[in-house]
Amino acid sequence: MLLNSWRVTKYNPLHRNNEGSYLYDDWTSFHEVGNKVSLSDYLRIEEAYIQAIGAFMNDMNINTVYIHALELSSNEIQIQHASDFTSNLWIGKGISIEEVKELAKLTLREAVWCKLGIKNLFFVHFGYDYYMYIGTNSNCHGARKSVKSLGLYVEEFESPY
């Protein structure tokens, strides 16, 4: 069992009601690019999420994580031109930090859904509406500070996944 679990998001916790619901009408999906969010703003936030995962992995001295759950959306994978990458993924496979970054991008763009981790050490889970959950067996003070400097919010929170 991991000691620490955080929700890492673009959503300011000051804008939540007492039940934890976010109060503002904000974009929640890659599919809202061009409608509710510009491509450049989307890409900036997406990159911050990907860098956040890297910050925690670096803080933990982790170079490889394992795919614990994986769902693929073939239409979205084709749209993202990621068939070659995703054809080499399976549950249980160890993946490098560079592969984690690519897989996170595809997950944030809703082409795949996955859970990544190392048992009793580290995990990354992705939720609906652009929520991400990270858990570690360390307090990762440096990573949390780094993620906040990227403009994201890090809240103590148990992953629902």
Judge whether 20 and 13 are in contact, CB under 8 Å: no
Is 23 inside a domain boundary? Answer: no
* pLDDT score of 54: 98
Is 87 inside a domain boundary? Answer: yes
Is 38 inside a domain boundary? Answer: yes
Is 130 inside a domain boundary? Answer: yes
**4 CB-side CA count, 13 A:** 17
Enclosing domain of residue 44: 4-15+28-156
Distance CA 2, CA 87 (A): 31
What is the total count of domains within the chain?
A: 1
Q: What is the pLDDT of residues 44-80, one digit of tens each?
A: 999 999 999 999 999 999 999 999 999 999 999 999 9
pLDDT band at 147 (very low <50, low <70, confident <90, very high): very high
Is 98 inside a domain boundary? Answer: yes
Is 22 inside a domain boundary? Answer: no
Distance CA 66, CA 49 (A): 19
What pTM, to 2 d.p., does this model score? 0.96
Nearest residue to 134 via CA among 45, 25, 58 = 58
Distance CA 148, CA 9 (A): 10
Q: 49, exposed or middle or buried, with CB in 10 Å at 0-12, 13-18, 19+?
A: buried
Is 45 inside a domain boundary? Answer: yes
Is 93 inside a domain boundary? Answer: yes
CA angle 160, 77, 97 (to 5 degrees): 60
Strand partners, 132: 8, 126
